[in-house]
Amino acid sequence: MNIPEQIQDARCGSAAAQKALFDHLADPMMALCCRYLKSREDAEEVLLDGFYKFFFHLKEFRYQGEAALYAWLKKIMVNECLMFLRRRHAFSVVSDKTVEDLPLNVEPLAGLSAAEIFELIVQLPVGYRTVFNLHVIEGMEHREIARLLGITEGTSKSQLSKARLLLQKLLLQKGINYVKRNTR
Amino acid sequence: MSRETPDEPLGAAEQHWRKHWQKTLREPDALPGQGLADKDAAWDKLFARLNARSRRSLRLPGGLVSGFRITGGGLGPFSAYRIAVACILVTLIPVSRLFHDRPGAVRPAAATEFRVTPPLRSPATLTVTTSVAPATAASGGPKGRKRNPVTDRAGSIGVKAFPTAPVAAPPAPIAPPAAIPAPPANILAESMPPAPVAPPKPAAKKQWKVVDINELEPRYTRPPMVADRRPGLLRLGIGLGDPGFPESSQAREDRRLKIDLSTQNH
């Protein structure tokens, strides 16, 4: 049974179709939740909340391909993660002072595997990590991030700069110099 | 106006590594080790939550009532309870009024008057009391039909019915007590036959009689507008006369549509 049929059956309340969709989509969504949240227990809780909303609103979803399904479910999960962080007051308060932005040597970065990227991101603090995820991975603008998190655009940029700085330090700790100083 | 600087355009190299990270992390199988440890247990939890919601939901023809909330109508919680209570009240109020206004219903006020009213003692009194009010008698009220005191109840306002004892003979004058010699004790003990046991008197047959409220309340007088009306007769004017032309009261009376509401057959 392919995904459109599973979605159609899940809309009608078929438990088998819902389980098939859950099995198919749970692992990538769990990885996404783990990028935003520290503990796996929290990530699993948020994942179940997200899938609960997914199945509840599945009747309103218009299937236009697997990419659209992924994008929609990912949006649900990101929103759930942000709501969870907001409930826990997990965002650290930082000043708007802009940190010096260090350009990265992109060639080694482009060669990192998914596991290495994931390991680097997970080591960032919650505030940095959230902004970094939203801006770099999800591709959101600072204005949108500021609206979602209830912060100013300057704070969002500051968080991103600090995240990059910390990322460089983490890379240096690994013994690999991925940082290239800008020679002005 | 916001003083924030717009997002600076990214260089080609920056875009390159970002796209690489996005693509790498967005792959469904990019992080196989980060999936759910126990997928079946997680599904069981999710399925229980979905089932709990579906159990709380109740499908009705008008919409989905979930958790005592009508989601389709935009009403608040417990709206179903409110609607049900309103339906019950709307049903019960007319029924209670129907039973309350029933002619045979005994009212507490009537029961109180029943206890304090003295019973009638003579048929003469009955004849007098079943007639209409004194005001009616003085004005020469309708005399044509002989009224049934029991069935003709519609016209007599405030009439009470209650059982009365049978008419008894007037008591004989009591003679003054004379000195009677007491018989000897031996006669009383031996020669006197035992006194016959008197047969039990038949129980007094109760009769229902109708009396006018004037008997119960002598100071009561009927209102002047209804004093000359014959009880049990409803008069309806159907408006056939010319309003500008004066006519006698007799002609007006003859033109009225008369409906006799009494239960007695003619």
Between helix B39-56 and helix A15-36 the angle, nearest 10°, is: 120
φ/ψ (deg, to 5) at B206: -85, 140
In this prediction, residue B259 carries a pLDDT of: 65
Amino acid in position B137: A
Kindly state whether A9 is in contact with chain B, defined as any CB-CB distance less than 8 angstroms: no
Chosen domain end from A56, A87, A118: A87
Across the interface, which of B20, B34, B47 has its CB nearest the CB of A34?
B34
**A60 and A32, same domain (yes or no):** yes
Is the same domain home to A54 and A9? Answer: yes
Q: Does residue A45 lie within any of the structural domains?
A: yes
Residue A15 lies in a domain: yes
A14 domain-assigned = yes
- The answer on A57 and A12 residing in a single domain is yes
CA neighbor of B149 nearest in space, from B20, B263, B22? B263
Nearest C-alpha in A relative to B19 = A137
Residue-level pLDDT at A2: 84
Q: How far does the CA of residue A70 sit from the closest CA of chain B (Å)?
A: 9
Comparing CA positions, the residue from B9, B263, B34 lying closest to residue A118 is B34
Q: Which two tokens stand for residue B97?
A: 């009024």
Kindly state whether residue B121 falls inside one of the protein's structural domains: no
Compute CA A70 distance to the chain's CA centroid, rounded to the nearest angstrom: 13
**Alpha-carbon gap, residue A130 to A136, rounded angstroms:** 10
Is residue A139 in a domain? yes
Q: Quick one: pLDDT band at residue B156, thresholds 50, 70, 90?
A: very low
User: pLDDT class for B264, splitting at 50, 70, 90?
Assistant: low
CA distance B206 to B86: 48
Pick the residue with more confidence: A94 or B258? B258
Cβ neighbourhood burial of A128 (10 Å; 0-12, 13-18, 19+): buried
- Judge whether A94 lies within some domain: no
The single-letter code of the amino acid at A55 is F
Per-residue pLDDT for B50 more than 60?
yes
Interval A25-59: pLDDT, tens: 888 899 889 989 888 889 999 999 999 999 988 88
If asked whether residues A59 and A119 sit together in one domain, one would say no
Give B135's contacts (C-beta < 8 A, 6+ positions apart).
B221, B222, B224, B227
Question: How confident is the prediction for chain B on average, in pLDDT?
Answer: 61
Q: Please tell me the predicted confidence (pLDDT) of residue A80.
A: 92
Residue B7 lies in a domain: no
Does residue A128 lie in a domain region?
yes
Distance from CA of A116 to the nearest CA of B (A): 10
The CATH number that applies at residue A61 is 1.10.1740.10
In a domain, A126, yes or no: yes
Measured in whole angstroms, how far is the alpha carbon of residue B7 from the centre of its chain? 77
Residue in A23, A106, A136 closest to B39 by CB: A23
- Taking the CA of residue A115 and the nearest CA in chain B, the distance in Å comes to 6
CA gap B186, B181 in Å, rounded: 15
Which pLDDT score is estimated for B151? 47
pLDDT band at B134 (very low <50, low <70, confident <90, very high): very low
CA B240 to chain CA centroid, Å, is 40
The answer, yes or no, to whether residue B127 has pLDDT greater than 50, is no
For testing contact with chain A, the best of B2, B4, B38 (most A CBs within 10 A)? B4
Strands B257-260, B207-211: pairing is unpaired
Residue B59 domain flag = yes
A68 with A142, same domain: the answer is no
CA distance B63 to chain A (A): 15
Identify the residue with better confidence: B104 or B124. Answer: B104
Residue B73 has pLDDT above 80, yes or no: no
Select from A59, A53, A57, A58 the least CA-distant residue to A80.
Answer: A53
Question: Among A173, A182, A25, which Cα is nearest to A102's?
Answer: A182
Nearest by CB: B31 against A22, A51, A118: A118
CB atoms within 10 A of CB B62: 9
Nearest CA in chain B to A55: B50
Please indicate, yes or no, if residue B8 is contained in any of the structural domains. Answer: no
Average pLDDT over residues A10-34: 89
Please state, in angstroms and rounded to a whole number, the distance separating the CA atoms of residues A138 and B19. Answer: 10
Distances (CA, A) of A21 to A65, A138, B34, B143: 14, 23, 18, 96
Q: Let me know if residue B127 belongs to a domain.
A: no
Same domain, A16 and A80: yes
Q: Does a structural domain hold residue B204?
A: no
Q: CA torsion sign, A111 to A117 to A119 to A120?
A: positive
Statement to judge: residues A112 and A161 lie in one domain: yes
**A22 falls in which pLDDT band (50, 70, 90)?**
very high
A22, A107, A136 ranked by CB distance to B46: nearest: A22
Q: Which residue of A has its CA nearest to B49?
A: A52
Q: Which of A49-53, A150-154, B55-59 shows the highest mean pLDDT?
A: A49-53
Residue B106 and residue B121: Cα distance in Å, rounded? Answer: 25
Whether residue A57 sits in one domain with residue A111? no
The answer to whether B33 contacts chain A (CB < 8 Å) is: yes
Distances B150 to B126, B147, B159, B207 between C-alpha atoms, Å:
12, 9, 10, 10
Are A12 and A77 members of one domain?
A: yes
Domain that holds residue A148: 106-173
CB B216, CB B159: distance < 8 Å: no
- Average of per-residue pLDDT values in chain A: 82
- Got the DSSP string for A128-178? HHHHHIIIIIS---HHHHHHHHT--HHHHHHHHHHHHHHHHHHHHHTT---
Q: What is the pLDDT, as a whole number, of residue A75?
A: 92
Most confident segment among A124-133, A160-169, B16-25: A124-133
Which one is predicted more confidently, A109 or B124?
A: A109
Quick one: pLDDT at residue B266?
Answer: 54
Give the domain-ending residue among A32, A55, A87.
A87
Same domain, A72 and A118: no
Q: Say how far apart CA B213 and CA B158 lie, in whole Å.
A: 5
For the stretch B184-227, pLDDT in tens is 655 555 555 666 667 777 677 777 777 666 666 666 666 676 66
**Position with higher pLDDT, A42 vs B69:** A42
**pLDDT by residue (tens digit) across A57-76?**
888 888 888 888 988 999 99
- Flag whether A178 is in a domain: no
Residue A25 and residue A73 in contact, taking contact as beta carbons nearer than 8 Å: yes
User: How do residues B86-111 score in pLDDT, each as one tens digit?
Assistant: 999 998 888 888 777 666 655 555 44
Chain A residues 26-85 with CB within 8 Å of chain B:
26-28, 30-31, 34-35, 40, 44, 47-48, 51-52, 55-56, 70
**Range of the structural domain that residue B75 is part of:** 37-105
Give a yes or no: residue B96 inside a domain: yes
Number of domains in chain B: 1
Cβ–Cβ of A154/B29 closer than 8 Å? no
Cα end-to-end distance, chain A, whole Å: 59
Q: What percent of chain B has pLDDT over 90?
A: 1
A152/A95 Cα distance (integer angstroms):
11
* B211 in any annotated domain: no
Co-location of A118 and A66 in the same domain? no
Residue in this structure with the two tokens 């009194």, named with its chain if needed: B125
One domain, residues A82 and A150? no
Number of domains observed in the structure of chain A: 2
